[in-house]
């Protein structure tokens, strides 16, 4: 069935719940898990307060450290469940594009993602990375809500 599952995380509470589900599903089908997080590259002109307050090297170091913490949490769940897990930090301005590209690059046959459940005007204005992956990916997507 599924042999390589990509699990993108943004560190949200919804992603935390989905991580457990992704690990459990990977264990149940005997699949390898690829945990990833997308880190935006540093931009000199930006409205992102994290970038405004730091130098390029400081921002990159802080982003890498945050990404490592997020991925370590998923890796620990996988290790405890006996699921092989590879952690990936991917740089990209558009997380959905980074998710799809990473899934293709690593030969993943399923993407498991969290849904934040935003509806109405909030969902319309904020958009949804999960929705964008669903629309643009040729790889099956399992949404955990």
Q: What is the pLDDT of residues 50-78, one digit of tens each?
A: 545 667 788 888 889 999 999 999 999 99
pLDDT confidence band for 112 (50 / 70 / 90): very high
CATH architecture for residues 4-144: 3-Layer(aba) Sandwich (3.40)
The ranges assigned to domains in the chain are 4-144
Question: How far apart, in whole angstroms, are the C-alpha atoms of residue 38 and residue 67?
Answer: 8
Q: Is the pLDDT of residue 91 over 50?
A: yes
Question: How far apart, in whole angstroms, are the C-alpha atoms of residue 121 and residue 126?
Answer: 8
Question: How far apart, in whole angstroms, are the C-alpha atoms of residue 77 and residue 64?
Answer: 20
Question: How far apart, in whole angstroms, are the C-alpha atoms of residue 26 and residue 18?
Answer: 12
What percentage of the chain has pLDDT greater than the value 70?
Answer: 84
Q: What's the full length of the chain, in residues? A: 145
Residue 32: its H or E element: strand 32-39
In this structure, are residues 73 and 15 in contact, taking their beta carbons and an 8 Å threshold? no
Which residue shows structure tokens 């409205």? Answer: 47
Query: What's the pLDDT tens digit per position in 22-54?
Result: 999 999 999 999 999 999 887 665 555 554 566
pLDDT confidence band for 126 (50 / 70 / 90): very low
């Amino acid at each position: 069935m599924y042999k390589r599952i990509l699990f993108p995380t943004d560190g949200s509470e919804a992603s935390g719940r989905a991580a457990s589900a992704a690990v459990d599903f990977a264990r149940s089908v005997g699949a390898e898990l690829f945990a990833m997080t997308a880190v935006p590259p540093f931009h000199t002109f930006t409205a992102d307060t994290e970038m405004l307050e730091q130098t390029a090297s400081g921002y990159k170091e802080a982003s890498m450290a945050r990404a490592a913490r997020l991925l370590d949490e998923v890796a620990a769940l996988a290790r405890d469940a006996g699921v092989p897990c590879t952690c990936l930090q991917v740089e990209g301005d558009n997380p959905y594009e980074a998710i799809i590209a990473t899934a293709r690059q690593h030969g993943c046959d399923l993407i498991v993602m969290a849904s934040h459940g935003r509806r109405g005007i909030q969902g319309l204005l904020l958009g949804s990375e999960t929705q964008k992956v669903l629309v643009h990916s040729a790889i099956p997507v399992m949404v955990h809500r």
